[in-house]
Structure 1
Amino acid sequence: MLMKDQSMLRHDWREEELLAVYDKPLLELIYEAATVHRMWHRADEIQLSTLLSVKTGGCPEDCSYCGQAARYHTGIEVQSLLPTETVIAHAREAKEQGASRFCMAAAWREVRDNRDFDRIIDMVKGVNALGMEVCCTLGMLTGEQAKRLQEAGLYAYNHNLDTSENYYDEIISTRTFDNRLQTIANVRNAGITVCSGGIIGLGESKADRLSMLQTLANMEIHPESVPINALAPVQGTPLQDNPKVDIWDMVRMIATARLVMPATMVRLSAERTEMTEAEQAWCFMAGANSIFTGKREKLLVTPNPGIPEDLDMLAKLGLKPMSRS
């Protein structure tokens, strides 16, 4: 019997406690995380989540890691909002290949109340009708916009913190950390599940990484989904020359997230093409129970393994795609 008692979860983690967890001897940390993982989740299941860029490039933000920012010369082709029918077809194909969650991403700073948002609403309704968990990441949104998405059947909204509050201004200047928290509050208040995580490898310190997790773990309700991304450097962005994230740093982040947010789906996200199957297996052992797949072997605009490749890896590891309960 899996643990379901939300009263067992903590929301008062202190900085020194998180540091003590993160700095445990590596194999002890992984063992503890794997044990907690098995108390709250089926250890033989990995959720396949397909992410589709429904509107690509041309974003006015200045996120230092992002190839879709209009101000950087990254060579990424700008794509206007896809037709609704095209998106629904992608979702149907993803479901047939084993995905139970479908996320639509638009390179917007914020949602605007216009015909494009009306089309997003139609996309949400269409994907929801397929019986999939439907997720969107569209930038900042108001409480009323969140309510419209919830009424259309949106299951989850992704809005990553990216990094700690203290390091945030080093990465982004066009919106504030509080802006992100407000959007997350709007999502929660509308009755939509929250997907929020961050990126490591931005030049942040260990303290910054743990501060980001502390912000998430001390929310009144833990995010139902926490993506842990390794920076995928994009040529033309300010962080193009940042070094590759060490795999054991990824494993420690995933294990720490698992231990402080036991009920949460921890998602092994960007830069998996730089990880071997064995390295990804360590991430699953440490508590990751979801991976992102992308159409045309892309995760938005960066390389990503294809679904057949991922299914082959899961089979080797004795894992199976999670079905929607």
Structure 2
Amino acid sequence: MEKVAKEINWNKLAEGVINGKKISKEDARSILTSSNKDILQLMDAAYQIRHYYFSNKVKLNMIINTKSGLCPEDCGYCSQSIVSEAPIDKYAWLTKEKIVEGAYEAKRRKAGTYCIVASGRKPTDREVNHVIGAVKEIREQTDLKICCCLGFLNENQASRLAEAGVHRYNHNLNTHADHYESICSTHTYEDRVETVNHAKDAGISPCSGAIFGMGETLDQVVDIAFELNRLDADSIPCNFLVAVEKTPLEGTKELTPLQCLKILAMMRFVNPTKEIRISGGREVNLRGLQPLGLYAANSIFVGDYLTTEGQEPTDDWQLIEDLGFEIEECAL
């Protein structure tokens, strides 16, 4: 860490947030630089905010990777990118039947949100039609909420997905605007913001977050949290880098479990009313401190991620039960 935080009464700061007061960037940075010995007090304060808005409910989400690899983008963290030599499965689009089948698996895993994800820069109109066909069938047969993550969207595609019944669109900022060129050169930070706004304008709930541990500074981590607040993202996935072998970021190891907890707490203070989701890298980076993360966050992925493994759903169910929390039932 760079410098020690000023002394702050975390519970008093949380009380102010609950009463509608926004914290400053200085206070947010102080969360990230707080002493490790104060971690329980910090997480307790974050929990006061989390409990006020979400009680002890935990939202479960499940991903299906409908198109793997074959991506022309050069994102340094991604095993599916054109610059990655990671030995992953590569395949074109799954059939509509397979996508619908995945929705029933999401229900079995007690997920309330089913995330249809595809690699690539942006979908063609034909690919959007393929997704829409699956979405309509899933909506007819289940009560799942559906999130799509298909890359960059134009306004027409966003409107058509909304009309088909897509509830949420995920498009992460991934990192700070000033750090973006060191992570990716084939598109810009502004391109990502534009897609988030297209989803919002179409009436789709925006889901956008970041990947932490890629060389960003503490001030940039804070700025990301405030930018997500400005964008009014309803769901904020907090990913912690899994430095996959044979990707440009292979060997990167910047985060400790305690640093991950501080990032989650800071996100909760800055975005008190939003779904904060512990996403990719949860098991690898938080390790034995995973349960503490849910004192700030109110959402997790259940099962595997895109090309990395998660833990068994039964382990997640048990973790939630052991905390005295409960899985949020899917209701529309």
What is the TM-score when the length of structure 1 is the normalising length?
Answer: 0.90
Matched, 1:257 2:267: yes
- Partner residue of 1:104 out of 116, 126, 131: 116
Which runs of structure 2 are paired with 1:145-156 in the superposition (5 Å)? 145-156=157-168
CA distance in 2 between counterparts of 1:242 and 1:84 reads: 37
Matched, 1:168 2:183: no
Q: Is the 8 A contact 2:261 2:293 kept in 1?
A: yes
Q: Give unmatched runs, 5+ long, in structure 2.
A: 1-17
What's the counterpart of residue 209 of structure 2? 197
Matched, 1:303 2:272: no
CA distance in 1 between counterparts of 2:288 and 2:94 reads: 36
After TM superposition, the structure 1 stretch with the greater mean CA deviation from structure 2, 241-250 or 152-161, is: 241-250
Deviation, 1:48, is: 1.1
- Partner residue of 2:104 out of 92, 95, 100: 92
Q: Identity, % of aligned pairs?
A: 30
After TM superposition, the structure 1 stretch with the greater mean CA deviation from structure 2, 98-107 or 65-74, is: 65-74
DSSP-derived class of the 2:206 partner: strand
Matched, 1:291 2:297: no
What's the counterpart of residue 245 of structure 2? 235
Deviation, 1:61, is: 0.4
What's the counterpart of residue 135 of structure 1? 147
Q: Give unmatched runs, 5+ long, in structure 1.
A: 1-6
What's the counterpart of residue 31 of structure 1? 44
Deviation, 1:14, is: 4.9
Which runs of structure 2 are paired with 1:272-287 in the superposition (5 Å)? 272-274=282-284, 278-285=288-295, 287=296
Deviation, 1:312, is: 2.3
**Number of paired residues?**
311
CA distance in 2 between counterparts of 1:47 and 1:120 reads: 24
CA distance in 2 between counterparts of 1:199 and 1:209 reads: 10
DSSP-derived class of the 2:114 partner: strand
CA distance in 2 between counterparts of 1:107 and 1:52 reads: 11
What's the counterpart of residue 316 of structure 1? 322
What's the counterpart of residue 3 of structure 1? none
Q: Is the 8 A contact 2:172 2:209 kept in 1?
A: yes
DSSP-derived class of the 2:177 partner: coil
C-alpha root-mean-square deviation of aligned residues, in Å? 2.0
CA distance in 2 between counterparts of 1:131 and 1:98 reads: 12
Q: Any idea what the Cα deviations from partners look like across 1:205-251, whole Å, max 9, x if unmatched? A: 111211111111123xx211001111011111010110152111111
Deviation, 1:62, is: 0.5
CA distance in 1 between counterparts of 2:29 and 2:109 reads: 40
DSSP-derived class of the 2:104 partner: helix
What's the counterpart of residue 4 of structure 1? none
Which runs of structure 2 are paired with 1:171-182 in the superposition (5 Å)? 171-182=183-194
Structure 1 residues 147, 202: CA separation in 2 closer, same or farther (over 3 Å shift)?
same
Q: Which amino acid aligns with 2:81?
A: A
Q: Is the 8 A contact 2:32 2:259 kept in 1?
A: no
